[in-house]
Amino acid sequence: MKAFLKYREIWLATAIIVLIGLISTRFPAFADPGNLRQVFNDTSILMILALGQMVVILTRSIDLSMASNLCFTGMVVAMLNAAHPAIPIPLLIVIALAVGLVLGAINGLLVWRLNIPSIVVTLGTLTIYRGATFVLSGGAWVNADKMSPDFIGFQRAAFLGVPVLSWIAILVIALFFILMTRTALGRSIYAIGVNPTASVYTGIDVGRTKFIVFCISGMIGGLAGYLWISRYVIASVEVANGYELNIIAACVIGGISIAGGIGSVGGAVLGALFLGIISNALPVINISPFWQMAISGSAIILAVVLNARGERQQGRIILRKAEAAT
Amino acid sequence: MTDIPAPRHIPDRLDKPFRSAIFSWEALLVVVAVAIFIINSFASPYFLDPYSLSDLTFNFTEKGLIAFAMALLIISGEIDLSVAAIIALASTMMGMAVQAGADTPTLVLIGVVVGLVCGAFNGLLVTRLGLPSIVVTIGTMSLFRGIAFIILGDQAYKGYPESFAFFGQGYVWWVVSFELVLFLIAAVVYWFLLHRTSFGRRVFAIGNNPVAAQFSGVRVGRIKFILFCLTGLMSGIASVLITSRLGSTRPSIAQGYELEVITMVVLGGVSILGGAGSIVGVVLAAFIMGLVTFGLGLLNVPGIVMSIFIGLLLIIVIALPIVWRRLRGNS
């Protein structure tokens, strides 16, 4: 099974390399390491969000409220920064994580304690969190001139020639990699997705694990909130409106099965990178940015067609292995 | 996404009709609707006016039309997130036709046919290739609206013929709008289709257990395909109404409608896991959402704050019976 997962990621990585190759045949500067670093940095926030969404989707749930969480948390930290510029940025990031965690925990509690399907819960909180942003801000914007230089500059500072934003993304990727491959929680998340009933019999608390994954996606949403606001230096109610579907798109392109249980950290990262490269390449090759939506739509459909083939095959492989083992 | 389906409780004997009617979801919705209606009429002196109440209906008729088809689709265990994008694409096509000098009947035909074709495209991907509908329609949602953006960019189509304005702005009789009449007709048609035909029984059967339905001789794929076509068709009709009401087309038209339509369906008591639901519930939910947004609008509450109430309403109305059942079970 692992060999197969690797195969899928290699496949996606190849597609990305071919894509970069195709673009660079006409615009050699695109494949320049400096530019690729820039693309990675541009995609960092989407990668982080996709990883948060991934753990939720793996447990057969979905979190539609991530973009609204991002918007709300971003507004909280931006207003805090505007009112008290003295608060150090690391503390602000902790606050962002905490606010995001609370919002995620609300989703998680509703799913866990009341057994409401996650799609219904997060459909509700999607509108509630964004509405709450309006109530909090009174509809006002927080502009660049109200933010402290540290607030804006933190993620742009270079460390070993790479911006802090990219380092944060790398750190989050590493943490998720450890979580999914080296911890019991990671195994439980996969187990619940593959077979929830069997997971209960093996002693996994399905409800509690779902609660935890919503807390994780909430924290990620909060972190992305700070990063998004300080990157685009504006906090408003419209921030990341509709972005929840981009996050899910990155996961789907990355080979994460919406039916749960199948997917990997590498896949989510590559899926996000794929979308990031497209959005970065379009202006370079002189295609109107209005094409982007249709292109990512086609990419999603293509990815899900290819993934469906893979999943079917995988079922057989598991059975054969199980037979061989007994 | 697909949560664990709880083993369905099938009682040996049905509840007595009166008792089951009182404790039904629809009864709860009626109570909520009446409560909101009363609160509204106390909160604003302008509410209890035939013209105000007529304006109110425009808040839900277009989304409600789609919600009927969506209800059937969700009962069958599928979902369509691309309905708002279909509206945008159909509206864009109508706009192109106007530039080419099309007359009103042609415009309506184009809107409806584009909707139908988009729905059929979704249906083919889901039923022929066996793909999960939530992902397929996230993809086609980007694709359809993306095409509208490619065609229109940041431009807008205007100049719709005057006779075209009737669909979204016309009144059939006194304060009864064309949209409301269409909504009520569609409600009756879909009620009949879902609750009084073998097609409707098959939709429920598929939602409860697609495998068993297949073995019982139900053509699961074909019925799902028809449901996707219906949803596309209703989106096309809604597109005609919205375009006619606004008198212009932008690629961002009807943005976010898909979630409101789904909220309406779920609020109407349709199980998001499939297999249960009623058209009466959806009609009531449409009224409730219209009442909430319109009542708050009269009080000058901004749209974004209204969405908080819609979101809360969705979660509370779903959570309430669960909490109540649990409390009763514990005592």
pLDDT of A322 reads 47
Which of A89, A67, A72, A50 shows the shortest CA–CA distance to A176? A50
B263 contact partners, CB below 8 Å, separation of at least 6: A123, A124, A127, B289, B310, B311, B314
What span, in angstroms and rounded, lies between the C-alpha atoms of B92 and B152? 8
Give the nearest partner residue to B307 out of A118, A127, A139, using CB atoms: A127
When pLDDT is averaged across residues A110-133 and rounded to a whole number, the result is 89
And the tokens for B239? 């597109």
- Chain A CA closest to residue B274: A117
CB atoms < 10 A from the CB of A246, how many? 21
Residue B290 predicted with pLDDT over 50: yes
CA distance A101 to chain B (A): 20
Find residues 185-214 of chain A whose CB sits inside 8 Å of chain B: 196-197, 206
Provide the mean pLDDT of chain B: 87
pLDDT band at B7 (very low <50, low <70, confident <90, very high): low
Average pLDDT of the residues of chain A? 85
Instruction: Tell whether the model's pLDDT for residue B14 goes beyond 70.
Output: no
Give tens-digit pLDDT for A187-238.
999 999 888 888 889 889 989 999 999 999 999 999 999 999 998 988 888 8
**What's the pLDDT at B41?**
85
Domains detected in chain A: 2-325 (1.10.3470)
Which of A304, A305, A306 is the best substitution to test chain B (most B C-beta atoms within 10 A)?
A304
Mean pLDDT of A254-262: 85
CB–CB of B227/B75 below 8 Å?
no
Rounded-to-integer distance, Cα B151 and Cα B142, Å = 14
Q: For residue B148, is it within any domain?
A: yes
Q: Is B125 on the interface with A (CB under 8 A)?
A: yes
Q: Which amino acid is at B252?
A: S
Angle separating helix axes A33-58 and A164-182, nearest 10 degrees: 40
Q: Is the pLDDT of residue B2 over 70?
A: no
Residues of chain A found within 8 Å of residue B255, distances taken between Cβ atoms: 242
pLDDT band at B6 (very low <50, low <70, confident <90, very high): low
Assign B299 to helix, strand or coil: coil
Q: Is the pLDDT of residue A308 over 90?
A: no
Asked whether residue B260 is assigned to any structural domain, the reply reads: yes
Domain residues for the domain of B119 are 68-280
- Residues on chain B touching A197 (C-beta within 8 angstroms): 4
Compare CB distances from A297 to B146, B308, B318 and report the shortest one's residue.
B146
Which contiguous run of DSSP H or E holds residue B171? strand B171-173
Q: Which helix (H) or strand (E) holds B134?
A: helix B133-152
pLDDT at A264 over 50: yes
Residue A8 above 80 pLDDT? no
Residue A95 has pLDDT above 90, yes or no: yes
Q: What is the pTM of this model?
A: 0.84
Mean pLDDT lowest for which of A217-221, A291-295, A312-316, B23-27? Answer: A312-316
* Nearest-by-CA chain B residue for A56: B1
Q: How far is B182 from chain A, CA to nearest CA, in Å?
A: 28
Residue type, A178: I
pLDDT above 50: residue A320: no
Give the count of domains, chain B.
1
pLDDT of B78-101, one tens digit each?
999 899 999 999 999 999 999 998
Residues recorded for chain B: 331
A291 in B contact zone (CB under 8 Å): yes
For the stretch A122-165, pLDDT in tens is: 988 988 999 999 999 888 888 888 888 888 877 787 888 789 89
What pLDDT is recorded for position A300? 84
Q: Which of A116, A246, A253 to mutate to test the interface with B (most CBs of B within 10 A)?
A: A116
